[in-house]
Amino acid sequence: HGAREYITVSDDKLPCTRDANASRVRTAAALGLAPGEAGGHGRASEPAVLTRPPTHPHANKLPLKESFTYEDYRWAVSSVMTRQNQIPTEDGSRVTLALIPLWDMCNHTSGLITTGYNLEDDRCECVALRDFRAGEQIYIFYGTRSNAEFVIHSGFFFDNNSHDRVKIKLGVSKSDRLYAMKAEVLARAGIPTSSVFALHFTEPPISAQLLAFLRVFCMTEEELKEHLLGDSAIDRVFTLGNSEYPVSWDNEVKLWTFLEDRASLLLKTYKTTIEEDRAFLKSRDLSVRATMAVKLRLGEKEILEKAVRSAAANREHYRRQMEAAAPLPKYEESSLGLLEGGGADSRLPLVLRGLQEEAGAQEAVSRARLVNGQNSVPNGPGPEKENLNPEERKRVTEDAKEPAPDGVAAATGQL
């Protein structure tokens, strides 16, 4: 009965990627769906399951034959899948799934993950992001998900998402004459020859790992030899992702030219322009889902456009350095291992850090609807929400490897 009330709390206007209405809410409650019964995921990829009749001994007594459809099933599964959470078992030996109703009602805002799991007391504990007054809405941070992930897995678009990004698949072609050498340098840096990277909403648009990959990708044979056999070859590998120490001015010009061209090509794959999308949002009376779709498309274009501008500016900067025959910055031993001159999370050798593109994969949330039309959405955590495993209480950095692309503008194919 309690589970039914919890599911029924959701209204019939969930802008979930799997359609919803009041009857589907009732269907989910009547079936008593639990995470373990709902399957491994909530995507629309379960048709084969529905080709078989229900196998429960009392299934033929349920009044489902005339009213229960694949759409009902899909919505019911999605409702559970977007609200389940990973928590440790009582002995902490493995991870299991659970629903956390009260926490599920918290809305999303920017910040840090403040939720953990207390194994000793066997409970989820969430610390407020700030002081909240009595009667004020409480917000938590879902994790560093992109808007593509929020829309696909949760059904909302978060305006001004500082963690937004567009996935781009890059790889060194095996037909490249220098493939073996490039593969070896990348291996020493802990980077595969083909991977999914990301262009970011914030500056700089690329991570240390993507910078390192592009530098190796654009290296000449002599530059590759220096990183494999030359003096301080190991040291050179450790500074591949450090923007302060270019491989050469020519290498920098090449990599930024390549990035500018790739982002420009991705922009051309869209059928509408940024200006057309902005006008479309202002001039049309769109549904919630249509608005999210256009905003997602627009956001991806804006990220790509920023990447084009940033790449062009860097290309010209390094071209001037090359023309002026400026001396390359020299690194000292004390500087080795600093990927970027920035935050403390960069102060690790490249080979000791994961790839950049899985930011938030284990800490983000799945959700289904907008509440007040702004940057606040109910929190329906899925299995990827704030990870409650005690080993993962700390915020996952944005420089971790992304899973297979599910964003609209993800680029695929070898280079």
Amino acid at 189: A
Count of other CB atoms within 10 angstroms of residue 18:
21
Cα–Cα distance, 48 to 140 (Å, whole number): 37
Q: Distance of CA 8 to CAs 2, 192, 363, 382, Å?
A: 10, 47, 26, 18
DSSP assignment of 108-162, as one string? E-SS---EEEETTTTEEEE--SS---TTPPPEE---S--HHHHHHHHS---TT-T
- List, for the chain, all residue ranges whose pLDDT scores fall below the cut of 50: 11-13, 17-54, 334-415
Residues 6+ apart with CB under 8 A from 370: 15, 156, 288, 376, 377
Task: Choose among 26, 29, 41, 36: nearest CA to 78.
Answer: 41
Q: Which residues of 137-170 are buried (b: 16+ CB within 10 A; e: fewer)?
A: ebbbbbbbbbbbbbbbbbbbbbeebebbbbbbbb
Residue 5, pLDDT score: 65
**pLDDT tens string 78-90:** 777 777 888 898 8
Residue 9, pLDDT score: 63
Residue 322, pLDDT score: 97
Q: Which residues of 284-297 are buried (b: 16+ CB within 10 A; e: fewer)?
A: eeeebeebbebbbb
Q: What is the DSSP letter of 397?
A: P
Number of residues in the chain = 415
Q: What is the DSSP letter of 85?
A: E
Cα–Cα distance, 291 to 85 (Å, whole number): 28
Task: Choose among 404, 395, 397, 411: nearest CA to 112.
Answer: 395
Amino acid at 17: T
CA 97 to chain centre: 21
Amino acid at 118: N
Residues 6+ apart with CB under 8 A from 209: 191, 197, 241, 350, 353, 355, 356, 399
Q: Is the dihedral of CA 412, 259, 340, 408 positive or negative?
A: negative
Cα–Cα distance, 16 to 20 (Å, whole number): 7
Residue 154, pLDDT score: 74
Cα–Cα distance, 296 to 164 (Å, whole number): 10
Residue 177, pLDDT score: 96
Residues 6+ apart with CB under 8 A from 160: 375
Residues 6+ apart with CB under 8 A from 365: 108, 142, 143, 145, 154, 379, 380, 381, 382, 384, 385, 386
Cβ atoms of 277 and 301 within 8 Å: the answer is: yes
